Amino acid sequence: MYIGRDVDNISNVEKLDNITFDGGTTYALEKSSVAYTPSGASNILISIDGVVQQGNFSVSTTNIVFDWSPTSSNTCDWILHFGTGLITTPADSSVTASKLGSLAVTGAKLNTDVISAQTELASAPADADEFMVSDGGVLKRVDYSLIKGGDNTPSFMATMSGHLTVSENTYTKLPFDTEVLDTDGCYDNSSNYRFTPDVSGKYLITLSNSIEKSGATSGMSYTLSRIYKNGSSVFSTYTDFSANYGYAIQGTVSAIIDFNGSSDYVEAYGYANTSDSEDVRILGLTYSNFYGVKIII
């Protein structure tokens, strides 16, 4: 007979199927009719005819081998397998987070194919997609819209295909008709010569223009380069040579401008004053340019 605490309360206990003896010494160990591999003979208790057996058998893979030959008249009451840390495969969904030690799962233990499948995206994420981000060691869900980097488009750059002669003391819209860059087709280089981005945000807009006297003589007094938004001047630069008249002046103005992504637009204007009211020439080709790019904030 067995004297001790209830066998159901022994920790890490696996109850195996009873054995039907036939006079042999070797018998298969099974649990729920499935072959069972024990950790060792010392991890098995078996009761035969009410007497707990221990030390009079060994194990070989999924078999128990007795040092004697139980006959068909002997009855197997129960077989228990126990020990520290169960040796059998855990049941599906039986391993919980509380059973894992801190930092127990390392990169070396993860299947690289699984990692690749999880990190390589088949297409660009949507703003509503969520990513797991470590915040001081605590994983948090973050919307992709909050962490995406964005890009610098729409953007454009344009030059003039030739020089432009205009009257002095007159604000003239500069016809930048040659596109160097126009990522989204937002720059009109054929009629209005304006940039109307279809994405709202802040843009860095720059105008650089060279103006000279048409008569190739000194007498250039001052010039202005202006960026117009929606038909009104918003930023300008002023260069004054009136104390020492020059022949050619380069003016550049840059500004960060907000666009609503639908109707806001910008244009480039130039102005010059001379001492003798002579016409001026705004240089095209590589001498003057107008460009803008969306900035990421």
pLDDT tens digits for 174-198?
999 999 999 999 999 999 999 999 9
| pLDDT average, residue stretch 8-26 | 82
Q: What is the pLDDT of residue 114?
A: 52
Q: For residues 81 and 182, which has the higher predicted lDDT (pLDDT)?
A: 182
Model confidence at 99: pLDDT above 80: no
Give the H/E segment covering residue 69: none
- The answer on pLDDT for 5 being more than 50 is no
| Burial environment of residue 44 by CB neighbours within 10 A (0 to 12, 13 to 18, 19 or more) | buried
In this prediction, what percent of the chain has a pLDDT beyond 70?
86
Q: What was the pLDDT predicted at 236?
A: 96
Report the pLDDT value the prediction gives residue 122, as an integer from 0 to 100. 64
User: What is the structure's pLDDT at 20?
Assistant: 95
Residues 86, 90, 96, 100, CA torsion sign: positive
Evaluate if pTM is beyond 0.75: no
Q: Which residue has the higher pLDDT, 188 or 243?
A: 188
217 by DSSP, 3-state: which? coil
